[in-house]
């Protein structure tokens, strides 16, 4: 299993079923590491959690937190383990990351996300929707491949190029998610 990507670069790897195993190990590690914090739930999210599509080899874990105060409470624990704080990356989402020691890479992202927020729902709905509807996952795969080819050393541009498709799919995913929960 390939894991890790130099900061700022883009490289897609074909889907690897070991990513799910690594996510499960990471979740168990985080449960022990943060056992004294208000973490309500952990979920494997991001492209490595979507079956059959390529992804940057970085494991994304979303941890549902009760409120923003948990972000500060986790800081010392994360830093002692080598995690770096990236800050607030979107509404209700604060991110830490870690990589291989001594290398300028990232292997894991940990998103602390307010439980019940739109951001939390979007992570779960997007993953579940694309795993349920392969044609929609293929649409996402196609834009990921095109964006990666054009932006190998420009991760921000890669994300910017994918954004319209992500927004479209996320909207569908949330509508589907809400409808199935009725």
Task: Print pLDDT tens along the chain (182 aa).
Answer: 999 998 888 999 999 999 999 999 999 999 999 998 889 999 999 999 999 999 999 999 999 999 999 999 999 999 999 999 999 998 899 999 998 766 768 999 999 999 999 999 999 999 999 999 999 999 999 999 999 999 888 989 999 999 999 999 999 999 999 998 66
Q: Is 5 helix (H, G, I), strand (E, B) or coil?
A: strand
Q: Which two tokens mark 36?
A: 């004294």
Q: Which of 89, 84, 76, 79 is nearest to 105 (CA)?
A: 84
Task: Specify whether the CB–CB gap between 178 and 129 falls below 8 A.
Answer: no
Side-chain half-sphere CA neighbours of 45 within 13 A: 20
Handedness of CA 6, 8, 41, 87 (dihedral sign): positive
pTM of the model: 0.94
Task: Specify whether the CB–CB gap between 50 and 144 falls below 8 A.
Answer: no
């Amino acid at each position: 299993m390939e894991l890790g990507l130099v900061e700022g670069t883009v490289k897609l790897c074909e889907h690897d079923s070991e990513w799910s195993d690594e996510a499960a190990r990471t979740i168990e590690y985080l449960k022990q590491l943060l056992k004294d914090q208000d973490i309500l739930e952990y979920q494997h999210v991001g492209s490595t959690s979507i079956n059959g599509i390529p992804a940057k080899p970085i494991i994304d874990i979303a941890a549902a937190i009760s409120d923003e105060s948990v972000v500060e409470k986790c800081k010392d624990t994360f830093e002692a383990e080598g995690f770096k704080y990236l800050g607030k990356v979107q509404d209700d989402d604060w991110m830490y990351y870690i990589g291989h020691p001594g290398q300028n890479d990232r292997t894991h992202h940990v998103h602390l996300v307010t439980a019940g927020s739109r951001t939390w729902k979007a992570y779960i709905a997007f993953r579940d929707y694309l795993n349920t509807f392969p044609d929609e996952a293929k649409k996402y795969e196609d834009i990921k491949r095109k964006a990666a080819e054009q932006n190998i050393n420009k991760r921000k541009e890669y994300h910017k190029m994918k954004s319209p498709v992500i927004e479209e799919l996320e909207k569908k995913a949330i509508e589907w998610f809400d409808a199935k929960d009725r």
